[in-house]
A and B are shown apart, each in its own frame.
Chain A
Amino acid sequence: MKVEATEVDGRKVYTVRAFNKGVATWLNRLPTLWVEGEVTELRRQDRWASVFFTLKDPEDGACLAAQMPRGQFDALQLGLADGERVHVFGRAELYEQRGELRLKVLTIERFGLGAHLAALERLKAALAAEGLFATARKQPLPRFPRLIGLVTGNDAAAKRDVLTHIVQRFPPANVLVAETYVQGPRAAVSIATAIGDLCRRGADVIVLARGGGSFEDLLPFSDERVVRAVASCTVPVVSAVGHEQDTPLCDLAADVRASTPTAAARIVVPDIEELREQLERVRTALHRGAHRASERHAQRLTSAHERLRRAPLLALERKRARLDTLHARLGALSPVATLERGYAIVRGDDGVIRSTEQVEPGDAVSIRVADGSFGATAE
Chain B
Amino acid sequence: MSEPTFEAASKELEQIVERLERGDAGIDELTKLWERGEELYRICAEKLEGVRGKIEELSRTAGES
> Which residues in A have some Cβ–Cβ distance to B below 8 Å?
142-144, 154, 163, 167, 170-181, 186, 189-191, 193-194, 197-198, 201, 272, 275-276, 278-279, 282-283, 285-286, 288-290, 292-294, 296-297
Contacts and interface: CB of A to CB of B under 8 A. Distances in A.
B7 interface: yes
Interface string B17-56: 1011101010100100110011001001101100111111
B63 A190 contact: yes
Nearest to A272: B48
A282 B14 contact: yes
B interface, over-half SS? helix
A193 B63 contact: yes
Given A144-B5, A172-B53, A175-B54, A282 B30 contact: no
Contacts of A282: 10, 13-14, 17, 41
A276 B33 CA distance: 21
B1 interface: no
B62 A286 contact: no
Contacts of A167: 53, 55
Nearest to B33: A290
B2 interface: no
B41 A201 contact: no
A279 B20 contact: no
A207 B18 CA distance: 35
Contact of A293 (B7, B10, B13, B20): B20
Given A144-B6, A175-B56, A290-B30, A283 B62 contact: no
Contact of B57 (A171, A179, A272, A289): A179
Contact of A275 (B33, B48, B58, B62): B48
A171 B51 contact: yes
22 contacts: A142-B7, A144-B6, A163-B55, A172-B52, A174-B53, A174-B54, A174-B56, A175-B54, A177-B55, A177-B58, A186-B64, A190-B64, A191-B63, A197-B58, A275-B48, A282-B13, A285-B17, A286-B16, A286-B41, A289-B20, A290-B20, A297-B27
A299 to B, nearest CB: 11
Given A171-B52, A286-B34, A286-B41, A198 B10 contact: no
B30 A293 contact: yes
Residue of A171, A275, A289 ringed by the most chain B CB atoms within 10 A: A289
A293 B25 contact: yes
Contacts of A178: 57-58, 62-63
A366 B40 CA distance: 97
A265 to B, nearest CB: 13
Contacts of B60: 154, 179
Contacts of B55: 163, 167, 174-175, 177
Contacts of A177: 55-58
A201 B58 contact: yes
A272 B53 CA distance: 13
Leading 3 A-B pairs by shortest Cβ distance: A289-B20, A190-B63, A290-B34
Contacts of B47: 172
Contacts of A143: 7
A179 B56 CA distance: 11
